[in-house]
């Protein structure tokens, strides 16, 4: 059974954290697109997408993610991704997402790189 889609946006200094729960498919695309359109996200110089090791991505979900990441790159936003399973880290490398975003092994590593500290809140 798929987990309910939910996207929470939180500001961590100049980083907009998108905490994304649920599977990433065509059905979940509107939730993710809506989060990317929020003012705090559009204007943030840095984005961090937090997924979970149980998150499943199908081809349509990956396509939407690539489109949004490409738009972020055009907007000169630095993007990090954390929480991926080993399988999806490999898939993201194969489909070119690593050219659009940095994949981090942990939330702490991502925050340290993006904010200069390992703290989760400001």
Domain span at residue 33?
6-115
Structural domain count of the chain: 1
Write the CATH number for 57: 3.30.750.24
**Residue 111 C-beta-side C-alpha neighbours within 13 Å:** 18
On whether residue 63 sits in a domain, the answer given is: yes
Residue 121 lies in a domain: no
Is the residue at 85 inside a domain? yes
Query: What band does 11 get if pLDDT is binned at 50, 70 and 90?
Result: very high
**Beta-carbon count within 10 A of 24 CB:** 22
DSSP state of 50: E
Q: Could you read off the pLDDT of 30-88 as tens digits, one per residue?
A: 989 999 999 989 999 999 999 998 999 999 999 999 999 999 999 999 999 999 999 99
pLDDT, tens digit (0-9, with 9 covering 90-100), for 22-32: 999 989 889 89
> Per the domain annotation, does 100 fall within a domain?
yes
pTM: 0.89
First to last CA, the chain: 35
Q: CA-to-CA distance for 56 and 9, rounded, in angstroms?
A: 20
């Amino acid at each position: 059974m798929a987990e309910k889609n939910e996207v929470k946006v939180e500001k961590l200094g100049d980083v907009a954290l998108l905490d994304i729960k649920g599977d990433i498919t065509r059905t979940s695309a509107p939730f993710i697109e809506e989060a990317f359109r929020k003012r705090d996200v559009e204007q943030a110089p840095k984005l961090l997408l937090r997924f979970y090791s149980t998150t499943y991505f199908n081809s349509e979900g990956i396509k939407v993610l690539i489109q949004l990441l490409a738009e972020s790159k055009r907007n000169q936003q630095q993007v990090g991704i954390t929480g991926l399973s080993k399988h999806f880290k490999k898939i993201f490398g194969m489909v070119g997402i690593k050219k659009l975003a940095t994949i981090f092994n942990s939330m702490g590593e991502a925050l340290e790189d993006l904010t200069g500290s390992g703290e989760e809140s400001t």
